[in-house]
Chain A
């Protein structure tokens, strides 16, 4: 359930030609923002302003960049699951490790499963009656439902023995604010939700997760959409606007990366959340990988497998920081604002920033980025051609 913020607001202007392969404006802008022109080497000699054959033929910087990307690239690194270090390598530790495996799978796992089942029974037994019976009393109903969702989320956290440390003041409910967090797995949402009932913007999911989305979480004012449908993005943009204006609604939580990253890196923030004209409250989440890697590699495993993996581990250890709310500074663009907030989160959680759009998992990069490089390269040549014509 990779929750995603469509570049909703940013898209609205250009929605005339929706296609799977259009590229968000923000993707381009950010690339420009981070543009490094290391690879372009001008064929024009800087000293005597002459076009030299050796410089023209020397394409080594471009080749070098291609080879570097083949050998190692920052984008792939963002989505690499960490391989756990084996520690069971000697004769004393090995039996201990085996004992641990048996204990975790045959004792811990069933207990946790039972706990989860009981939690669900209680939750459903209360949720539906409240949902049906209190139709007229929206205020009480909302309050109770919020409490129930927080309850089921803490059951979830307990089911993998979540050891979560929350730092900073708890989020308050008021209009004109939006929370943004870095995204590692759907469990981020559960961990944040157990403290405060957030309304979240998420990708629509198939299976039991999807069922939950449409029944239970809908009551919190969560918004669903499909990453690949631009029509959905328009609707989301509309709903978003209405949501932040409404003082009665739950605080809004957005994962602006739009995809799960392995908690070592952070990819580009989609600017939609930063264009709503309200205060942005950054939330940094950092998992400790000592027992289990919390990264959900959605291309490799289903969410159920991911949950079972968490439930058979000793514990999920994580830190959550609620950072100081930020507002856009005068003269700052939405992208610069998004980058500033990303900086804060990256610094607090100790993760590295990369300039890539997480959606590149699904799409090829825009040819415009190649054109940028071509343009840089060409400019020097044009300049030189003009110079020779003058002399």
Chain B
């Protein structure tokens, strides 16, 4: 008879909702909490890399390893904060920030050509040579008016990325 959403009180829900800046509705938070508990198989309160990788659809993702660096050991608060970038209610800035953080692996606020190359390597694997990748990145940077030594900032990302083209919307299944 028990249902798992009862483990979150109204206070928890309100706190969590402020925490993610109101991006998720309370029902969505309840649904995400159930999902979190399902992923956290042993009920320890956080999710390990292995538990994420047990989801085949995630494990297949070319960026899975890279994403795990931020995902490893997340608790529920961090979990919804990370996912909030994928809500339809999240702003363009919020979404770009997420993308920027994926590129900026050393967290210094700058994305160099090498950061871009690394992501491109994840995406293309052994199907492009290092030379090809380099050629591609330089070509694209120059096309947009940067040089191969430029370091892109978050502001640059905001300007370069195409607001309409961004496809970042994941619906939380509420029942």
Measured CB to CB, the residues of A under 8 A from B are 41, 43, 50-76, 80, 83, 86, 88, 356, 360, 364-365, 369-371, 373-375, 377-379, 381-382, 384-385, 388
B63 and A62 contacting across the interface, CB-CB below 8 Å? yes
Cβ 8 A contact of A71, one of B95, B102, B141, B170: B170
Which single residue of chain A is at the shortest CB-CB distance from B38? A76
A379 to B165, CA, bound (A): 21
A365 closest partner in B (C-beta): B56
B37: interface (CB < 8 Å): no
**Contacts of B141 on A, CB cut-off 8 Å?**
53
Q: Mark B146-175, 1 if CB is under 8 A from A, else 0.
A: 100000000001001110011111111100
The 3 closest A-B pairs by CB, nearest first: A378-B127, A374-B125, A69-B57
From DSSP, what is the main secondary structure of chain A's interface residues?
A: helix
Return A68 CB to nearest CB of chain B, in Å.
5
Cross-chain contact B135 with A378 (CB below 8 angstroms)? no
Contact digits for B53-72, partner A, Cβ 8 Å, 1 yes 0 no: 10111111111100100010
B interface residues (Cβ-Cβ under 8 A, vs A): 1, 3, 32, 35, 38-39, 52-53, 55-64, 67, 71, 83, 86, 95, 98-99, 102-103, 116, 119-120, 123-128, 132, 135-137, 139-141, 143-144, 146, 157, 160-162, 165-173
Partner of B124, one of A72, A75, A381: A381
- What residues of A have a CB within 8 angstroms of the CB of B140 in the complex? 43, 51-53, 55-56
Rounded to whole Å, the gap between the CB of B55 and the closest CB of chain A is 5
Contact B123 A59 (CB under 8 A): yes
Check A74 against B160 for contact (C-beta < 8 Å).
no
Give the one of A60, A80, A374 with max B CB within 10 A. A60
Task: Output the nearest chain B residue to A50 by Cβ-Cβ distance.
Answer: B143
A364 CA to B64 CA, complexed, in Å: 13
Output the least CB separation between A30 and chain B (Å): 13
- The answer, among B55, B62, B172, for a CB contact under 8 Å with A69, is B55
- Contact residue among A80, A375, A381 (Cβ-Cβ distance under 8 Å from B136): A381
Given contacts A69-B57, A71-B83, A381-B136, contact A370 B62 (CB under 8 A): yes
Partner of A61, one of B32, B52, B167: B167
* Bound complex: CA A67 to CA B56 (Å): 13
With contacts A64-B169, A66-B61 known, is A71 near B32, CB below 8 A?
yes
Q: Contacts A56-B136, A374-B126 given; 20 further ones with Cβ under 8 A? A: A53-B141, A54-B144, A54-B161, A56-B116, A58-B99, A59-B63, A60-B168, A63-B102, A66-B58, A67-B168, A71-B32, A71-B172, A369-B60, A370-B125, A374-B123, A374-B124, A378-B124, A381-B128, A385-B132, A385-B136
Q: Are B125 and A57 in contact (CB under 8 A)?
A: no
Chain B positions within 8 Å of A373 at CB level: 60-62
Task: Say yes or no: B137 contacts A364, CB within 8 Å.
Answer: no
Contact partners of A378 in chain B: CB under 8 A: 124-125, 127-128
